[in-house]
Amino acid sequence: MRFSPIASGAAALAIATAGCASAGASGPGSLDGAATLVPANAVAFVAARSDLSASRWHGLGKLALKQLPGWGADLQAVARDEIDLAVLPGEKTVVFLQPSDRAKLAALAKKHHLVQRATGGWTAVAASEAALAAVASATSHLATDARFVAAMNRLPGDALMRAYARGAEMSRLLEAIPGQLQTRALPPRAKFRLQRDKKGAPTYGLARQEFRWLAVALSSSGDGLKLQGFAPSAGLAAAGPPRFAAVPVAPYAAALVDEIPSGALAVVDFQVPRGGFELMPKLPVQLGRLLGPDLRDLPNELDTVLGGESAVYVRAGLPVPEITLVTQPADTTAASTTLDELLASLPKGSPLERFPLHRAVIGGQLVVSTTQRGIDDFRSGGPKLSADPAFLEAKKQSGMPDETTGFAYANARDALPLLALAGVTLPAGLPELGTVAVFGAVFGGGTATGSTFTAYVGLPSS
């Protein structure tokens, strides 16, 4: 799904301008708001408040305002309360607001070559008359669309921002992200199907999970902000050419939290499904930069090295942080041999050339670290992540369940100062950050299942 420049700017505007209070009893995007004007075939819809000074933004609102494009900041300033964005078929984008000063809005539209039209108590603003005409000619609207109503009902009414996307568009977006469906929350219902190529040889593919819609909400939660997303299942569909399909990951209880040393600055824990890399339509380009441009054998090599529950974590170190990988390949001897082959063929300038890699097989797990201390501390009986106070706080504040489809955690409070010392430029005005937690999960049961993701960032200084 591609966006025009105005769509990209409007999306940033709508996300960044979520304020503190709900727009009516049902929150931003309520069924008696701009949703009564937006055509029912809208690709996506984002509704937010325009007040960036609210305390529930925990000091992040002013920083968000600085990231808006010039016309976006102008629109935010003239919006009275709520500001909404609709992306229509054909990449038409329309912003809806109730201006505090119509004369200022008219001047703003002229300055940025936008067109506007008052309708239903709102003013629609777009880059073309065709976009406004699509709104005016609509015979059905989101407010009466069953999918949109269900999506809004799933989200908290006191959210700072609420968004909706049609299921088909969301599926295309997920498919455009290499590896996304291999590591995100999908019900474990996709099954292999045997097919044959033109020569009659058997090949394998998967049925792809489809979704009814995607709903996302940004809310103030405790001492931070929480982003939640929901995508109910619509069943299985053909996944396209054989071997090019998603490998869904079932929820699992992370066991590595009892082995990763306490004090980790960042952790990513995930499941590597069998044959997952070979089944990916396209490997992430970052792997090419890291391991070399010849990707023909790389999927099989990665499937040999990685497997089962795996984790990458970072700990403080001098002169650079320590990075450790833990994985559970089917054959640790073959995995170690394949890793040697990968390291021997590294392209010139690969970041992996800078570090001597240490490794060990511990309890059937392959552990690779940039320091010997990383190996020793993983093997030791010292304090572990499962008892780390910062990790436990992040888990509590984010609502992370014991079973997820993968999670990421960061102790930003301790990590950001180290990044600053290392010369990384941080955004001016960035408030103090605490812990960050991101995880996927599933919800529902029987035929009413779906995927959900949550991201929480602590802002304790607010």
Q: Which pLDDT does position 198 carry in this prediction?
A: 52
Q: Which of the two residues, 237 and 444, has the higher pLDDT score?
A: 444
How many other C-beta atoms lie within 10 A of the C-beta of residue 212? 19
Counting residues of the chain whose pLDDT is more than 90, the rounded percentage is 45
Q: Which pLDDT does position 170 carry in this prediction?
A: 57
Q: Identify whether 177 is part of a domain.
A: no
Mean pLDDT of the chain: 78
What are the residues whose beta carbons fall under 8 Å from the beta carbon of 27, sequence distance 6 or more?
A: 152, 155, 156, 157, 158, 159, 162
- pTM strictly above 0.85: no
What are the residues whose beta carbons fall under 8 Å from the beta carbon of 407, sequence distance 6 or more?
A: 254, 267, 268, 269, 400, 437, 438, 439, 440
Question: What are the tens digits of pLDDT across the range 196-253?
Answer: 445 544 444 445 557 788 999 998 887 888 999 998 876 655 444 443 344 456 899 9
Q: Identify whether 440 is part of a domain.
A: yes
CB-based burial of residue 4 (10 Å sphere; 0-12 exposed, 13-18 middle, 19+ buried)? middle
Q: Which pLDDT does position 440 carry in this prediction?
A: 92
Residues 321 and 214 in one domain: yes
Residues 218 and 453: beta-carbon distance below 8 Å: no
As beta bridge partners, residue 95 has: 85, 125
289 pLDDT higher than 60: yes
The H-or-E segment that residue 397 falls in is helix 389-398
The stretch 18-37 carries a mean pLDDT of 67
Q: Identify whether 150 is part of a domain.
A: yes
Question: What are the tens digits of pLDDT across the range 315-333?
Answer: 998 778 899 999 999 999 9
Say how far apart CA 209 and CA 168 lie, in whole Å.
11
104 pLDDT higher than 60: yes
Q: Domains in the chain: how many in total?
A: 2
Residues 381 and 416 in one domain: yes
What is the pLDDT confidence band of residue 52, given thresholds at 50, 70 and 90? low
43 pLDDT higher than 70: yes
Which range, 45-49, 90-94, 300-304, 396-400, has the best average confidence (pLDDT)?
396-400
The stretch 146-155 carries a mean pLDDT of 92
Q: Which pLDDT does position 185 carry in this prediction?
A: 34
Counting residues of the chain whose pLDDT is more than 70, the rounded percentage is 71
Q: Which pLDDT does position 270 carry in this prediction?
A: 94
Q: Which pLDDT does position 434 carry in this prediction?
A: 87
Residues 161 and 230 in one domain: no
Say how far apart CA 363 and CA 32 lie, in whole Å.
59
- Note down the domain range covering 25: 5-169
Tell me how far the alpha carbon of residue 452 is from its chain's centroid: 11
Q: Identify whether 183 is part of a domain.
A: no
**φ and ψ at residue 316, rounded to 5 degrees:** -65, 145
Residues 333 and 293: beta-carbon distance below 8 Å: no
Q: Which residue has the tokens 């980790």?
A: 264
Q: Looking at this protein, which amino acid is placed at residue 62?
A: K
Residues 41 and 154 in one domain: yes
Say how far apart CA 63 and CA 334 lie, in whole Å.
49
What is the pLDDT confidence band of residue 23, given thresholds at 50, 70 and 90? very low
Residues 236 and 357 in one domain: yes
For the ranges 85-94, 230-239, 269-278, 450-459, the lowest mean pLDDT is seen at 230-239
Q: Identify whether 181 is part of a domain.
A: no
The stretch 8-26 carries a mean pLDDT of 39
Residues 85 and 115 in one domain: yes
Q: Which pLDDT does position 273 carry in this prediction?
A: 82
Q: Which of the two residues, 192 and 351, has the higher pLDDT score?
A: 351
Q: Identify whether 304 is part of a domain.
A: yes
Tokens of 225: 């902000």
Residues 159 and 196 in one domain: no
Q: Identify whether 118 is part of a domain.
A: yes
Residues 142 and 260 in one domain: no
Residues 220 and 133 in one domain: no
Q: What is the CA radius of gyration of the chain?
A: 24
Residues 397 and 355 in one domain: yes
Question: What are the tens digits of pLDDT across the range 396-435?
Answer: 999 999 999 999 999 988 888 777 666 667 666 666 788 9
What is the pLDDT confidence band of residue 311, given thresholds at 50, 70 and 90? very high
Q: Which pLDDT does position 168 carry in this prediction?
A: 66
Q: Identify whether 37 is part of a domain.
A: yes
